[in-house]
Chains A and B, each alone.
Chain A
Amino acid sequence: MKRTNELIVGLAVLAVISVITWGVFAVGDNMTSGVSAYSRDVFQLHNTILGIVTIIGVLVFTAMFTSIVLHRRSKGFKAAGFSHSTKAEIIWTAIPVLILVVMSVPATRVLIDMERTGGAELNIKITGYQWLWQYEYVEEDISFYSALERDSNRARQLGSGVDPRDVDNYLLEVDNPLVVPVGTRIRFLLTSDDVIHSWWVPDLGWKRDAIPGMINEAWTLIEEEGTYRGQCAELCGADHGFMPIVVEAVSQEEYASWVAEQREEIAQTAHDAARLWTREELMNHGSRVYQAQCASCHQADGSGLEPAFPALVSDGVPSGDLESHLKTVLDGREGTAMAGFRDRLQPQDIAAALTFARNAWNEDGSEGEVVQPATIAEFDQG
């Protein structure tokens, strides 16, 4: 009688808990299956393990709640006296061991696959900076920086008044995406210039830390064209939440023409570094560089965030003489968050940003110094 009772109630409890569990899965999000064979393996593995632990949980809770429903003092249930059963204890030690062995087989297989980084057709070096990424295409000699795109950056300032819902791909858009060909085995080499970052695009199925002084490896082979978004996943300072990753996977032909375009731009850049710029050109370009590189710390109006990030203007006048300003921008300041931009930016970018910072906030309307790209190059050599 007791046994039958427990069986009937147990089945009813099982039904209720199963429905609740189904509901919990139905309202929630699951992991993406991604766009490579590897990411699908990870997704499959995740689902398998999730399924196993869910079944374990449902069974455990069914036993528990069956007891809670039936074995109550308020129903006059008299307590049994047992406190030991070697047989039961052996069973519930052995079965979990078997389940774990079953789980470890696919886990080991997928892990070994991830760790096989050889045979790459394209090598890309990723360097993390506070708070942007640098991508270097080792074979193509192409290199660029990728930072949070302007609209997102403006909207995410404290009290910006911009509704993030009005910004396309808020916080997940960059100025220069990483362009890669589909159907190509790509190896990534990851490192960092300052603190530890972590490069994560969920659709590729992995994340890997970018650590200063070390080079980590990872690989992917993207099968579908498309735009895949991710973020830095390791706390890296104030703007950790604002260094997204965008991967544009394109056909091999498109990729080839993109590479050609980049080559042309490199030639143009070299030309720009040598020529004389007008004040207006410098101010326009400088405004863009300042917003992308400087504003997150020194703020859009140059007022800074004391005490960590000093103001660049005091009483409407740019502070500091030009030479020390230039030196700080090129070499950074030791012991502070101010990094050196010598290798990060082109001379014309630095010249334009300096020109902008020394002219934009002059309240009396007077004109400050204009810095030419050539000056930067000279300073750099002398």
Chain B
Amino acid sequence: MSTATTTHQDDHHGDHPTGLARWLFSTNHKEIGTLYLVFSLTMFFVGGAMALVIRAELFAPGLQLVHPEFFNQMTTMHALVMIFGAVMPAFVGLANWMVPMMIGAPDMALPRMNNWSFWIMPFAFTLLLATLFMPTGAPAAGWTLYPPLSLQGGNSLAFVILAIHLMGISSIMGAINIIATILNMRAPGMTLLRMPLFVWTWLITAFLLIAVMPVLAGAVTMLLTDRFFGTSFFNAAGGGDPVLYQHIFWFFGHPEVYIMILPAFGIVSEIIPTFSRKPLFGYTSMVYATASIAFLSFIVWAHHMFTVGMPLGAMLFFMYATMVIAVPTGIKIFNWIATMWRGSMSFETPMLFALGFVVLFTIGGLSGVMLAIVPANFQYHDTYFVVAHFHYVLVTGAIFAIMAAVYYWLPKWTGHMYNEKLGKFHFWWSTIWVNVLFFPQHYLGLAGMPRRIPDYAVQFAEFNLISSVGGFMFGFGQLLFVYIIWQCARGGEKATAQVWEGARGLEWTVPSPAPLHTFDTPPLVDDRIAVHQDKLT
């Protein structure tokens, strides 16, 4: 319906195709943003279905449903699909929609490349998911693809590696586009330190992407040549070193963790001030904290591999460096709470998800501090304690923030308010069951259950059963999310331009729904609009 209301406005941009061609050939940041978000939501359910296979098999001790090999394929594919298919594209989609509107730019800097960045993704995931139907099955060595195990699998490894290359190209192009847009296309008066936090966190994330995606590409290319062209980068018998792969992989992998959480920090830093009706506390320190986290993310990679046998000095260095990350992360959490403090809070769905994020991400962060302590890490490593930790930061961290963002900006995208009652129900349902799902996994890990096993000793039965029940309830509850979005896209109470009483920023100065083209003439930005900043005196 947004097409109908906006056609007259974009006459000066020439013909706008309709139907399939509209989406295939679109160079419009809003349409491409929508494509990314729909793609991400689809992958969220594909990856979620795999998670339910895992939780179904783990419902009770003994093997009831799948062979161990297929179970391993599920854990591997679940991670790859969720990381590269659900979380990352969701953030890129949000950046596409919001970054130009938040900085007063008419579109992304490189619109055709924007189209290409997106349309690579369906091909990449076709290649990745096709491996499930190949004779040797999908990769089953974990998403980290550690050799020598990953080299034992069938030829489907080549498809996975090609898919990872494609995702990497897409991510790098997306990142270049975001950096070019932010650095070149800000409206007059939108100085760097007036930018909304979401824009800041994405700018830093984009640099992380450009720095580490090529490293991942290098690592998997070496796997490819080891497997198919007779090299021995990671083969000890040929003079190589299996641990070398882990160093290279985690040099990508740890910044990748922050790629998936920094934009979430940005989202929460937008939402909490809006619903607290109070400017963000410590804007400048938020920016510096984000940059510090990004820097530290490059020097902590080996904390994922304390058990491989490193020199004492190396372990001490990586332990201390990892602990230091708690400082800027703590600053962020304290700033959010200081933003709420003596605000005038209301609790619409986006705020609920943002508050859920702050609490549950903090729990994930605190278990992260525990994991940094090397001697304790020797016990926690590769157990369900780790599984619980990273699902707290990724599901109740990244994904809760994405859901908060969707509820926050959905009225701006569709022009309608979503069903607030259902939204709140979605929040409470998700929050309760996600904790039933992941909290008991801390206990399982401490009690000695390794991760990535399809079957377990009977003393782990009770908590696994509880976790599986939580998994199914949480998983099926997400269908409600789809229904709420669908309902909101089709109609509902008309949204105002500002949508939320406390909302400030350029995106709230354009009508709802946002017309296809916004800010053809750049707005003038002054302190009245950029209230998220400290008073720069």
Q: Which residues of A contact B (CB under 8 A)?
A: 24, 28-32, 41-42, 45-46, 49-50, 53-54, 56-57, 60-61, 63-64, 67-68, 71-74, 77-85, 88-89, 92-93, 96-97, 100, 103-104, 107-108, 110-112, 114-115, 155-160, 162-165, 169-172, 194-196, 198, 200, 202, 205-209, 211-214, 216-217, 230-242, 305, 307-308, 337
In the complex, chain B residues whose CB is within 8 Å of the CB of A77 = 342-345
Given A61-B359, A83-B278, the answer on whether A42 and B379 have CB atoms closer than 8 Å is yes
Bound complex: CA A198 to CA B337 (Å): 42
**Contacts A217-B309, A238-B69 known; 10 new A-B pairs at CB < 8 A:** A53-B366, A71-B343, A81-B279, A83-B283, A92-B330, A158-B67, A171-B456, A211-B308, A213-B236, A237-B152
In the complex, chain B residues whose CB is within 8 Å of the CB of A305 = 67, 69
Nearest CB in chain A to that of B281: its residue? A83
- Assess whether A172 is in contact with B457, with CB atoms less than 8 Å apart: yes
Q: Can you list 27 A-B pairs, Cβ within 8 angstroms, ordered by A?
A: A28-B443, A42-B376, A53-B369, A67-B343, A71-B343, A71-B344, A73-B277, A81-B279, A84-B535, A85-B338, A96-B327, A100-B324, A103-B373, A108-B319, A112-B312, A165-B458, A207-B307, A207-B378, A207-B379, A211-B242, A212-B148, A212-B237, A214-B309, A216-B308, A235-B451, A238-B69, A238-B140
Bound complex: CA A346 to CA B369 (Å): 49
Total A-B residue contacts, Cβ distance less than 8 Å = 297
Nearest CB in chain B to that of A337: its residue? B152
- Assess whether A92 is in contact with B334, with CB atoms less than 8 Å apart: yes
- Assess whether A241 is in contact with B453, with CB atoms less than 8 Å apart: yes
- Whether B285 sits at the interface, judged by CB under 8 Å, is yes
- Assess whether A234 is in contact with B382, with CB atoms less than 8 Å apart: yes
- Assess whether A196 is in contact with B149, with CB atoms less than 8 Å apart: yes
- Assess whether A100 is in contact with B312, with CB atoms less than 8 Å apart: no
Instruction: Give the interface centre of B140, B374, B378 by most chain A CB atoms within 10 Å.
Output: B378
Given A31-B446, A80-B343, the answer on whether A46 and B379 have CB atoms closer than 8 Å is yes
Instruction: Give the interface centre of B367, B446, B535 by most chain A CB atoms within 10 Å.
Output: B446
Which 9 residue pairs spanning A and B have beta carbons closest together?
Answer: A213-B236, A241-B453, A216-B309, A29-B447, A79-B344, A53-B366, A80-B342, A83-B279, A28-B443
Q: Which residues of B contact A (CB under 8 A)?
A: 61-69, 72, 135-137, 140-142, 146, 148-149, 152, 154, 236-237, 241-243, 276-283, 285, 307-309, 312, 315-316, 319-320, 323-324, 326-327, 330-331, 333-334, 337-347, 355, 358-359, 362-363, 366-367, 369-370, 373-376, 378-379, 381-383, 439-440, 442-444, 446-448, 450-458, 463, 534-535
Bound complex: CA A337 to CA B534 (Å): 61
In the complex, chain A residues whose CB is within 8 Å of the CB of B136 = 307-308
- Assess whether B63 is in contact with A157, with CB atoms less than 8 Å apart: yes
In the complex, chain A residues whose CB is within 8 Å of the CB of B334 = 60, 88-89, 92
What does DSSP make chain B's interface, helix, strand, loop or mixed? helix
What does DSSP make chain A's interface, helix, strand, loop or mixed? mixed
Bound complex: CA A162 to CA B66 (Å): 16
- Assess whether A205 is in contact with B379, with CB atoms less than 8 Å apart: yes
- Assess whether B341 is in contact with A71, with CB atoms less than 8 Å apart: yes
- Assess whether A108 is in contact with B381, with CB atoms less than 8 Å apart: no
